[in-house]
């Protein structure tokens, strides 16, 4: 089965995708991770992407689509895949349909207030990049990483005001993509407002959709 996950930053797509990947035996393909890996390895596509990233520009649709096409063509994706971070536009969605039929699109939703709380509470270690949350998974000692003793800090894009603006932009830019998949009758909304300790409630909703696909 070929699944696409949609949803704003901080809604929990990656966490649930990891569970679904293990459960259904299909790879979780995160385009963000894929881009970083390609750049780190210095592949041809990675070098091309790096030019745009270093210039502070978005990687062009054609380049991202080419990377996704190559990834889903690998043997590991023979039984299917879970795409996270692609497509981002209706143009990318149409391009995807040309080389991989999508069976279901899971749109993860949660109130802005919930997402802002999740993201703004994050703290990242400057030394080892480990992450904590001041409310849900705080470090043993405030401001200090449990793993390496490094300083914890809040990223500039994880401050409440900036997060709210990012969510508004996402909502505006993502509407055409949501409409596209709704018109294709592939879209299912997933209530992702539950806390991580209740992740099974989110996974259960996904299972209900995927069960119908399989049958």
Active site residue 13: yes
> Is there a contact between 83 and 97 (Cβ–Cβ < 8 Å)?
no
Q: Is 166 among the catalytic positions?
A: yes
| Residue 122 annotated in active site | yes
88 carries an active-site annotation: yes
Nearest of 138, 143, 104, 144 to residue 24 by alpha carbon: 104
Rounded Cα distance between 82 and 26, Å, is 7
* Annotated active-site residue in 71, 118, 122, 123: 122
CA-wise closest residue to 34 among 86, 105, 112: 86
**Is there a contact between 10 and 108 (Cβ–Cβ < 8 Å)?**
no
From 13, 71, 118, 123, active-site residue: 13
155 is a catalytic site residue: yes
Out of 147, 155, 168, 201, pick the active-site residue: 155
Catalytic choice (71, 118, 123, 166): 166
Name the catalytic one among 36, 50, 88, 182: 88
Question: DSSP assignment, residue 85?
Answer: S
Residues with catalytic function: 13, 88, 122, 155, 166
């Amino acid at each position: 089965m070929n699944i696409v996950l949609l949803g704003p930053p901080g809604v929990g797509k990656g966490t649930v995708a990891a569970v679904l990947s293990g459960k259904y035996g299909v790879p979780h393909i995160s385009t963000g991770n894929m881009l970083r890996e390609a750049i780190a390895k210095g592949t041809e596509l990675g070098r091309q992407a790096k030019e745009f990233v270093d210039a502070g520009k978005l990687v062009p649709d054609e380049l991202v689509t080419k990377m996704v096409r190559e990834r889903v063509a690998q043997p590991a994706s023979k039984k299917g895949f879970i795409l996270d971070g692609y497509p981002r536009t209706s143009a990318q969605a149409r391009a995807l349909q040309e080389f991989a039929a999508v069976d279901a699109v899971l749109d993860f939703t949660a109130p802005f207030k919930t997402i802002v709380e999740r993201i703004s509470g994050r703290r990242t270690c400057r030394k080892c990049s480990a992450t904590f949350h001041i409310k849900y998974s705080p470090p043993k000692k405030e401001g200090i990483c449990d793993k390496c003793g490094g300083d914890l800090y809040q990223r500039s894009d994880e401050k409440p005001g900036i997060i709210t603006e990012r969510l508004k932009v996402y909502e505006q830019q993502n509407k055409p993509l949501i409409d596209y998949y709704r018109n294709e009758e592939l879209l299912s909304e997933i209530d992702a407002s539950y806390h991580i300790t209740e992740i099974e409630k989110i996974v259960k909703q996904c299972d209900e959709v995927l069960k119908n696909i399989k049958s």
